[in-house]
Amino acid sequence: MLRLSKQEWGEFFMLYGGEMYKDKLPMTARVCDKDPDYMNVFFGEGCDHNGYDLYEEFKQQSAKQGELDV
């Protein structure tokens, strides 16, 4: 399970939602019970991805973008 802010989840899904759909990657996202500003995201197995690898790629891209913004 991943716990992402709603903004982070929106950015991730905007970038990788098409890839997840194309890969038939099952995913469940719901608002966190303890903090409504966060989402709990669960991934299954797709043809080429497991979801968590896409999130690792997203974090690396975000870190690189942060370095460029400074």
In this predicted structure, what is the pLDDT of residue 14?
Answer: 94
The Cα–Cα gap between 26 and 32 comes to 19
In this predicted structure, what is the pLDDT of residue 64?
Answer: 84
The Cα–Cα gap between 37 and 15 comes to 20
In this predicted structure, what is the pLDDT of residue 67?
Answer: 66
The segment with the largest mean pLDDT, out of 32-36, 43-47, 60-64, is: 32-36
In this predicted structure, what is the pLDDT of residue 69?
Answer: 57
In this predicted structure, what is the pLDDT of residue 68?
Answer: 58
Give the mean model confidence (pLDDT) for residues 24-53. 93
Distance of CA 8 to the CA centre of its chain: 7
Q: Which CB contacts under 8 angstroms, 24+ apart, belong to 21-25?
A: 23/47, 23/48, 23/49, 25/49, 25/50, 25/51, 25/54
Q: If you average pLDDT over every residue of the chain, what do you get?
A: 90
